[in-house]
Amino acid sequence: MTFTSVNPHAPADVLGEWEAAGSDGADAAVGRALKAAQVWRDTPGAARAKALGDAATALEQRAGEVTDLVIREVGKPVSEARGEVARGVAILRYYAQAALAPDGETLPASDPDQLLFARHVPVGVTALLTPWNFPVAIPLWKAAPSLAYGNATLLKPSSAAAATALLLSEIIGPLLPPDVFQVVLGGAGTARPLIDHPGVAAVSFTGSSEVGRDISARAAARGGRVQAEMGGQNPSVVLADADLDRAAATIAYAAMGYAGQKCTATSRVIVADEVYPQFRDALAAAVEALGVVDPADPKTLVGPVIDDGSRSFALAAVASSGGRVLTGGRALDGPGFYLAPTLVELDEPVGPLATEEVFAPVAALIRAGSADEAVSIANAVRYGLVASVFTSDLAHALRLTRRLEAGMVRVNAPTSGVDFNAPFGGSKESSYGPREQGQAARAFYTESQTVLIVP
């Protein structure tokens, strides 16, 4: 079975056609990885660190080429594409150093002549199932710790980002022993055999909640480790004492930047009643000012959605919301999959825009009578990835951070954007399993082994 990847800005531009690995290809890749894992786990940490450092340098040297491909394949605006590639370089360098970090600790033994210690050892073979929206950063923030801690690593990218994954493999693969890092192409027919394979010790997934729940159940059923980062329906709470102009500019980009195609994008804007009319007008103006067409243009901040199905889904959600469209709400003319950035005013926090992830440049505006009501609205969804609060009262902000049901809370900052050296993940249906990124990644890609030595 073959598949293609197309340019969402110009769908007639086909980046390539590839054969899906399928069940047989996935099984063969795992077999190669199991052999490679024995070599890589015995490779000294200093050598693993050097390989990842060399990979960072190689990616940096080809940053322009990778950036151009990201723009073309997934429609990411050039400013964000450049930033994502730079982030990938930084991630590789960060985990190059992690390969040299202490791998355990000594413990008091019952006999002083004995040696008791606990150390972290690689789990073996990992399978990484990654989405199209961050085709460099997400594969690398999974693969870099997996490799740093000594695992053979299989990357199964979204079919819509296959070309970028293959370019990453071309850059990184030669700097590692054979088969330590492999790209396995295809859709569900390739992913399921990896998830179910007894030779795959750990599965890390980023994508929708529905798919993530299925993957988590399948992997856990056979005793495999599983980590799933899933959807978000992220609120930004604007209190009466906030800097309204700053908040409007920040939230507009957090909701609409890269066509809202981030799990951390702002989906709901919950505004204190006292400043609601003023803020509504400021936010609508900020949304209308965003550049939309042609992701290769430095002035573009939004860009196309990934495909026509995504655009149709978003327009249907707007149509069924029961709210008033303040701006946008329509497809744009032209061959690309463009949707005007859309802000919808809701009378009540109900309907798809208030409860579900739309994954498009669409956000709901909701009025709250008090800070308590704003928090209640923010928490009243099944997701809990990230929330933001805009206020000039730091003490109040800190109190609200304890009440918001989200894995990440940001004050006077956009919901979108995360630091690669900090734990990443959500609560409720947004995440399952250990956190990603930073030092937290070690908990997933290694297991603790206790050793007692008796002379």
Provide the annotated active-site residues.
229, 263
Residue 314: both structure tokens together? 């978003």
Distance from C-alpha of 270 to C-alpha of 199, rounded to nearest angstrom: 47
Distance CA 347, CA 334 (A): 33
Please tell me what DSSP assigns to residue 435: P
- Alpha-carbon distances, residue 92 vs 148, 286, 424, 453 (angstroms): 9, 36, 17, 35
End-to-end CA distance of the chain: 59
Pairwise CA distance, residues 132 & 142, whole Å: 14
Helix (H, G, I), strand (E, B) or coil at 417: coil
Asked if 344 and 362 touch (Cβ cutoff 8 Å), the reply is yes
| Separation between Cα atoms, residue 232 and residue 23, nearest integer Å | 31
Nearest Cα to Cα of residue 121 among 452, 450, 455: 450
Count CB atoms within 10 A of the CB of residue 40: 24
Cβ–Cβ under 8 Å, residues 233 and 357: yes
